[in-house]
Chains A and B, each alone.
Chain A
Amino acid sequence: MSTSAPRVRVRGVVGESVERPDAVPKVKGEFEYASDLRRDGMLFGATLRSPHAHARIAGIETSAAKRMSGVRAVITSGELPTRERFGLMKLDQPVLATERVRYVGEPVAIVAADSAEEARLAVRAITVRYEPLAAITDPVAALQQGAEQLHRSGNVIDEVIVVHGDPDTRADVVVEGEYEVAMQDQAALGPEAGLAIPRRDGGVDLHVATQWLHEDLRQIAPCLGLPESKVRLVLAGVGGAFGAREDVTLQIHTCLLALATRRPVRMTYGREESFYGHVHRHPAKLFYAHGATKRGELVFVRATIVLDGGAYASSSPAVIANAACFGAGPYRVPNARIHAVGAYTNNPPAGAMRGFGAVQSCFAYEGQMDALAAKLGIDPVELRERNALRNGDPIITSQPVEGSAPVAEIVRRCADAPLPPRGPETDPIALPGGAGNLTHGEGVRRGVGFAVGMKNVCYSHGFDDFATARVRLMRDERGPLARVHTAAAEVGQGLVTVCVQIVRTELGVERVELDPPDTTIGSAGSSSASRQTWMTGGAVLAACREVKAVLLSRARATGRPPDDLAALLDEPIDKTVSHRHRDTEPRDAATQNAGHVAFLFAAHRAVADVDIETGLIKVVQIATAQDVGKAINPLAVVGQIEGGIAQGLGLAVMEEVILKDGHVRNASFTDYLLPTTLDMPPVVTLLIEHPHPDAPYGAKGVGEPPTISSTPAIVAAIRAATGRTLHRVPVRPDDIVFDEPYRSGWRITPGDDPRRAVRA
Chain B
Amino acid sequence: MKLNVNGSERDLEVDDHESLLTALRERLGLPGSKNACEQGECGSCSVLLDGALVCSCLVLAGAVAGRDVRTVEALSDDEGLHPVQRAFAETGAVQCGFCTPGLVVATYALLTENPEPSDREVREALSGNICRCTGYGRILEAVQRASAAMYRR
Contacts and interface: CB of A to CB of B under 8 A. Distances in A.
A81 to B, nearest CB: 31
Contact of A677 (B35, B42, B88, B123): B123
Contacts of B31: 29, 32, 36
Contact of A644 (B72, B91, B127, B135): B135
Contact of B97 (A268, A492, A678): A492
A26 B135 contact: no
Contacts of A268: 35
Contacts of B41: 668-670
A29 B101 contact: yes
B130 A676 contact: yes
Interface string B121-147: 011101111111111111110000000
A26 B136 contact: no
A680 B131 CA distance: 11
Contact of A35 (B35, B99, B129, B139): B35
A564 B139 CA distance: 41
B98 A190 contact: yes
A678 B127 contact: yes
B90 interface: yes
Closest 5 CB pairs of A and B: A29-B32, A492-B96, A26-B97, A239-B98, A642-B135
Contacts of A30: 32, 73
A17 B97 contact: no
Interface string A628-655: 0000000110110111111100000000
B19 interface: no
B114 interface: no
Interface string A587-606: 00000000000000000000
Contact of B136 (A190, A239, A642): A642
A642 B123 contact: no
Contact of B38 (A187, A271, A491): A271
Contacts of A683: 135, 137
B138 to A, nearest CB: 6
Nearest to B123: A677
A474 interface: no
B64 to A, nearest CB: 19
10 contacts: A19-B90, A27-B81, A27-B88, A27-B97, A36-B25, A639-B133, A643-B95, A668-B39, A674-B42, A683-B137
Given A117-B15, A188-B132, 16 more contacts: A19-B90, A23-B94, A26-B89, A28-B73, A29-B73, A35-B35, A189-B36, A189-B42, A268-B35, A271-B38, A271-B39, A429-B123, A643-B134, A644-B135, A646-B135, A676-B126
Interface of A: 17, 19-20, 22-24, 26-33, 35-36, 117, 186-191, 238-242, 268, 270-271, 427, 429-430, 435, 491-494, 635-636, 638-639, 641-647, 668-670, 674-678, 680, 682-683
B44 interface: yes
A636 B134 CA distance: 9
A643 B133 CA distance: 5
Nearest to B95: A492
Task: Give the dominant DSSP class at A's interface.
Answer: loop
Q: Which of the listed residues B86, B126, B133, B134 has the most CB atoms from chain A within 10 Å of its own CB?
A: B133
B81 A638 contact: no
B116 to A, nearest CB: 18
B42 A26 contact: no
B127 A27 contact: no
Given A28-B72, A189-B130, A639-B138, A493 B37 contact: no
Contacts of A187: 132
Interface of B: 15, 25, 30-39, 41-42, 44, 71-73, 75-76, 81, 85-86, 88-92, 94-101, 104, 120, 122-124, 126-140
A36 B71 CA distance: 16
Nearest to A494: B95
Contacts of A28: 32, 72-73, 75-76, 81, 85
B35 to A, nearest CB: 6
Contacts of B140: 677
B132 A674 contact: yes
Contacts of B134: 639, 642-643, 646
Nearest to A648: B135
Contacts of B44: 189
A635 B138 contact: yes
Given A189-B42, A492-B133, A26 B94 contact: yes
B138 A239 contact: no
Contacts of A644: 135
Contact of A491 (B15, B25, B96, B138): B96
Given A24-B81, A27-B85, A678 B42 contact: no
A17 B73 CA distance: 27
A189 B99 contact: yes
A432 to B, nearest CB: 15
Nearest to A634: B92
Contacts of B128: 676
A642 B132 contact: no
Contact of B92 (A191, A493, A635, A647): A635
Contacts of B96: 188-190, 238-241, 491-492
B132 A189 contact: yes
A738 to B, nearest CB: 29
Contact of A636 (B42, B92, B136): B92
B98 A240 contact: yes
Nearest to A633: B92
B135 A27 contact: no
Contacts of B133: 240, 492, 639, 643
Contacts of B75: 28
B42 A27 contact: no
B45 to A, nearest CB: 11
B32 A668 contact: no
